Amino acid sequence: MIVVTGGTGLVGAHLLFDLCRKYEQVRAIKRTNSDLSWVKKTFSFYSADAEKLFQKIEWMDADLNDYFSLEKAFQGAKQVYHAAAMVSFHPVDNEQMLEANVQGTANVVNAALFQQVEKLCYVSSIAALGRADENQKATEQTPWKDSAKSSLYSISKYKAELEVWRGVEEGLKVVIVNPAVILGPAKWNSGSASLFSLVWKGLKFYTAGTNGYVYVRDVSRAMIELTESPISAERFTLSAEDVSYRKLFSLMAENLHKPTPHIAVKPWMSELSWRLAAVRDFLSGNKSAYSKETARSSMKMSRYSNQKIKEALNFEFTSIEETVEQTAQLFLLDHIKTNAKK
């Protein structure tokens, strides 16, 4: 039995698809009120037998903060893929995010140990890596240094990794993946997938920063290959390449047949924008996608090395050009189908 947490998310849905093509027994945990429609849609993007594959999944209600529900969900599990996490850059979510990401991961580790799971694959983030010196690439060995520049999401993923390493010390076989910004089809109004929606609506601005990106299909493939390998007690950065925001948005615009963003955002404009967004959120009670952390991140030059995974598995990444092209095609296809139903 293979068990997946976070099966309704971007990584989890793609991971479930790949696992269902490979195995007969796949269990996924979900919240009681989880919407499974995007998991089904994800399967339909890649297979004519989507419904048949989807029916292989044994869905089980469980909560990361409820240890005993995880203990039950992991019963009989050979491998556990822990992809569930909360991602937020808004201070109002800080306490909830720490509980979900840190205590939730501690519960996953403890339940895996209790049920004698053979191997755990934990989906961390490049946010949990240390900051490299200027003009250098961050690696799995770059020392972590907490600072005022660290987002709470970054801190939560770093602390969650510490729980996983504790599991290693207690005898659990583990691999950790640290994906860069993951691109791929998901709910188009949230997460990285919302960038395609922004460009589709006519995004005019771009920021000066650079970041690492990776195709979701590559993340899923790397997770399965690492989990099925003898490798244990190692972490691996998953980043295809470092790309500027200007290039990324231009690629999206080109593939969505939209005008290319052409107005450069100055640092002062970025600082003013997140402050205005914060005031608007306070008055409206909403949470915009633009916060202090996302604003400052969009101006940073962040670079990451992918040599370790390449050497360990002879792994080849999908280019960002192909990643954007394939995701944009699915965006357009989904857009046409959605409008046809109206």
pLDDT at 275: 43
Q: How far apart are CA 240 and CA 185, in angstroms?
A: 17
Q: List the domains of the chain with CATH numbers.
A: 2-185+212-241+302-319 (3.40.50.720)
> Which residues, including other chains, have CB under 8 Å from residue 104's CB and lie 6 or more apart?
64, 65, 84, 85, 160
Whose tokens are 């107005």? That residue is 263
Over the stretch 313-323, which tens digit does the pLDDT of each residue have?
Answer: 999 999 999 99
Amino acid at 278: A
Residue 67, both tokens = 């240890």
Q: Please count the other Cβ atoms lying within 10 Å of the Cβ belonging to residue 92.
A: 12
Quote the percentage of the chain above a pLDDT of 90.
69
Q: How far apart are CA 31 and CA 36, in angstroms?
A: 10
Quote the percentage of the chain above a pLDDT of 70.
88
pLDDT at 289: 56
Mean pLDDT of the chain: 88
Look at residues 183, 193, 177 and name the one whose alpha carbon lies nearest to residue 322: 183
Report whether pLDDT(337) > 90. no
Q: What is the pTM of this model?
A: 0.91
Longest dimension (CA), the chain: 55
